[in-house]
Every structure is written in structure tokens, then in C-alpha cells.
Amino acid sequence: MKAKEIFNRIREIPEAGVIAAFVIMCVILSFLSDVFFTLQNFVNILQQVSVTAIVAIGQALIIITGNIDLSAGSTMALGGVVAAFLAQQGWNPWLAAFIAVALGCAIGYLIGFLSIRLQIVAFIVTLGMDYILRGCCYLISDGMPISYTNSVSVLGSGKLGIVPVSVFIMLFLIFFFQIFTKKTVTGRRFFAVGCNDKSARMSGIRVERIQIGAYIIMGALAAFAGIINAGNLWTADSVSGKTLALDTVASSTIGGVSMSGGSGSIVGVLFGAVIIGTMRNAFVLLNISAYWQQVAIGVIIILAVGIDRFRAK
């Protein structure tokens, strides 16, 4: 096989660009830090990005259908606070976790109903819900962290060997939703709706149901991620996840999800989250001020969206 044919086949892989960027970043950092290219450091990076990557799956599905969710961080915080609060009140921890995830689904449905059925701009609905849900966190917890040490905490703090349980959960969800979006009829409908909702509707797809479904999935994943985060910290805190919404949008765009909807890859989203986590890890290892992290992430987001628009043209 000729080199040109190999290159063309690689270029056809949707995740090729973000994987190449990650590999280049790793090669450069391996020369800058002796600690970076170690198994333990990579495990630490995966653990740090596991919560972001799980929520980014839901954000990617929403963006693919042509919408956005800015309330992801508050939904995550509320999921952890509700699970911890109910467990503290004597409820079975697993039942409390189930109720928290169900609440996340209800929040997702409400957002979808307001933005899709009632045609209120998703940006405004999710921004408003972000304030409402964060306020609910403070009301339930009285502004204080809630201890979360029970059998469910293993989802965040447990390990299988040296690999955290949260990493296995993240990889399973990435694999599941990659298969769902690429190999099932329902999954492909998310892309059809994002490409052209009018054509999708004319072909018999229930567009509103798909769009609301994306918000429900997002709510469930965000609440579940909140439980994992609380288990990892052994504490559910009302202030957690304040930058999560932007991190999930960044992970999605860096991972190749088009902000105009209709295209993207769940595996790409994972690499997008890992790139952000690797960059933050590098800033710590190289002793660079954390303030530059925000600058670097902002530049990467703009570049990713710019490249997406260039490819679209």
C-alpha cells in the first residue's frame, strides 16, 4: 500500500486530528518533564478528566442536535448534594443515588421542554437553570459541604489495581455511546436532526423527541458524575462544577463536534477532555501559573471552532 493511500485512510478517521494533537503534545511534554511520561501520571490524568468526559458525552449529544447546555455544572453539583443529603438522612445510599440520577433526568426533560417545546432559546433556559439549580444546592446543604462516605463512594474513590473505578466507568460510557451513535438507528437520528431538522422531520423522525432525549441523557450523566465526584472527594459540595459547562463544551469542540450540529464523535470527545486534562497536568509539572490555564484553554477553544468553521466551508 502506498504512503499516500495510508495517509488518505488515516485522514478519513474522524478522530485522527485530535489523536494526532494528543500524541504531539505527549511527545513534547515527555522532553520537558521526566515525570510526565509515566503510567501513574497518565492514570492521574484519566482520573482527573473522568467526570468532565462523562458529562461531555451528554454535552456532545446536545451540540450534535444543534443546541447547548450551560447548566451542566449545577446539575452535577445538585446530583452529588441530593445523593449525599438523602444518605445522611438514613436512606439507602444506592437508592439515594438512583433518586439523584432520576432528578437529573427530570431536570433534563424540563430544560428540553422549555427550549424545544416552548421555543425558548436554549442559551437563556440553561443559563437560568444554572442559577436555579445552584441555588437549590445551597438551600439543601445550607451552603456547607456534606460528608459522603458510604458504599456508593467506591464509584469515585475505589480502585481496581492502580486504575480508579471512575476511569473504568468513563471508558465504558464512552464505548457505549460511541456504539449507540454510530451503529444504531436511534443514535444516527441525533446527527440527522443536527444536520437539518426540517429534512429529518419530513423523513419521519420525531425531532423534538430526539432533542429532548439529548437533554435527558445529559441530566442523567451530569447527576451521575456528581455522585462520582462526591465519592472521589468524600464530600458533596455546592460549589463544585462551576466551570464544568465550559469544560464540556471545550472537550466537545476540541474533540471534533461541530458547534453547528450534525457531526462529531464520542471517542473524539474523550480525547478532547484528555487534551485539556493533559495541558492542566503539564502546567503543574512545569510549575507554570494556573492563571495561564484559562488563557490556554480559551485559545484552544477558539482554534477548534475556527478549524471547524473552515472545514465546514
SS3 assignment, position 177: helix
Least confident residue range of 74-78, 83-87, 149-153 = 149-153
Using only C-alpha atoms, what is the Rg of the chain? 20
Q: Which three cell numbers stand for residue 99?
A: 433518586
pLDDT tier at 2 (50, 70, 90 boundaries)? low
CA proximity to 72, closest of 212, 259, 243: 243
pLDDT tens readout for residues 239-250? 988 889 888 998
Contact between 182 and 15 under an 8 Å Cβ cutoff? The reply is: no
pLDDT at 19: 80
Q: Where are the alpha helices (DSSP H) in the chain?
A: 3-12, 16-32, 39-64, 72-88, 93-112, 122-141, 154-157, 165-183, 185-195, 197-202, 207-233, 244-254, 266-285, 291-312
DSSP-derived secondary structure letter, 37 = S
pLDDT at 170: 96
Residue with cell 503543574: 284
Cα–Cα distance, 192 to 210 (Å, whole number): 10
Residue 15, CA distances (Å) to 25, 67, 253, 264 in order: 16, 22, 12, 9
Residues in the chain: 313
pLDDT at 126: 94
Cα–Cα distance, 300 to 284 (Å, whole number): 18
pLDDT at 309: 67
pLDDT tens readout for residues 19-34? 887 888 888 888 888 8
Q: Is the predicted pLDDT of residue 3 greater than 60, yes or no?
A: no
Q: Where are the alpha helices (DSSP H) in 33-164?
A: 39-64, 72-88, 93-112, 122-141, 154-157
- What residues pair up with 88 in beta bridges, in sequence order? none
Q: Is the predicted pLDDT of residue 313 greater than 90, yes or no?
A: no
Enumerate domains of the chain plus CATH numbers.
48-312 (1.10.3470)
SS3 assignment, position 158: coil
Cβ burial of 116 (10 Å; 0-12, 13-18, 19+) is: buried
pLDDT tens readout for residues 107-160? 999 999 999 999 999 999 999 999 999 999 999 998 899 999 888 999 998 898
pLDDT at 262: 83
Residue 62 or 200, more confident: 62
